[in-house]
Amino acid sequence: MSNYEFKITINFLSYWFISSGVENGAYADQITLKDRDGFPYVPGKSIKGVFREAFRTALKSGWFDRFRHDDSMSDEEFHDKLIQLIFGQNGTVDGYSRDELHAEGLIHFTNAEIAGNARSKIGKENSFYLFKTVQSTKINKETGTAENKSLRTIEVAVPMHLSANVSVTNPFMENTLGITEKDMSDILALFDSVSSLITEIGGKRRRGFGRCLCSMEII
């Protein structure tokens, strides 16, 4: 199987938030993750995480049942093994052995960023326009009023388009599933459909943040 290169486009439809883990005094209790020029981005590991979950949803819906060559294998076992083959295992393995490559998986994501031409038009001196602060309070269920000292301010990014690159390498195809190179090509051909299952990215999703449309194409 030849190496594959994909482009992911993330179209945020609402304010979105990737925590930097940093506070900024009176400005905000939580700050959005930024690059060295002050532009917001989504880390590749975060994109890989949401794709992994979308892929699991597709598996449970039977999208990839035809690639199960061992009928004695349970659905759960097949799902777990196929996810591990493509996305890798959680955790790391010491050294540079074949096991480490399995732990890493076949698919690799770059950070999702604003396209270069858009970045140059905005200019890093104006990157602060891409953010705003929103406030929230915790409501007491019994009284229906805001709890004392519960006011929180977070910095969020405004709706925008981001793009990332994805590479799928094939250092070896030995696996316990009997997945062939043709199988893997067919599986990858369904990844755009898998990307359409991603509707939210980032933190505060239960509060309406991070709503998005996601698409993927071979480049």
Crossing angle of helices 44-60 and 75-87, rounded to 10°: 150
List strand residue ranges (DSSP E) for the chain, in order. Answer: 4-12, 107-109, 131-136, 152-157, 161-168, 212-218
Rg (CA), the chain: 20
Predicted local distance difference test score (pLDDT) of residue 50: 95
Residue bearing tokens 């892929």 = 55
Nearest to 196, CA basis, from 171, 167, 178, 216: 216
Q: Is 50 exceeded by the pLDDT of residue 97?
A: no
Label residue 138 by pLDDT band (50, 70, 90). Answer: low
Q: How many helices (H) and strands (E) does the chain have?
A: 6, 6
Please tell me which residue, 27 or 15, carries the higher pLDDT value.
15
- Sorted by sequence, the CB contacts under 8 Å of residue 69 that are 6+ apart come out as 177, 178, 179
Is the Cβ–Cβ distance between 40 and 34 less than 8 Å? yes
The DSSP bridge pattern shows strands 107-109 and 161-168 to be antiparallel
Please tell me which residue, 167 or 23, carries the higher pLDDT value.
167
Q: How far apart are CA 18 and CA 210, in angstroms?
A: 9
Q: Is 90 exceeded by the pLDDT of residue 18?
A: yes
**Rounded mean pLDDT of 102-115?**
86
Predicted local distance difference test score (pLDDT) of residue 93: 41
Structure tokens at 28: 């905000």
Q: What are 46-64's pLDDT values in tens digits?
A: 999 999 999 999 999 999 9
Structure tokens at 146: 């805001």
Please tell me which residue, 97 or 16, carries the higher pLDDT value.
16
Mean pLDDT, the chain, integer? 84
Spell out the alpha helix ranges (H) of the chain. 44-60, 75-87, 98-104, 116-122, 181-189, 191-195
Structure tokens at 113: 């960023």
Most confident stretch, 43-47, 71-75, 204-208: 43-47
pTM over 0.85: no
Q: What is the dihedral of CA 16, 21, 25, 30, to 10 degrees?
A: 20
**Rounded mean pLDDT of 139-155?**
67
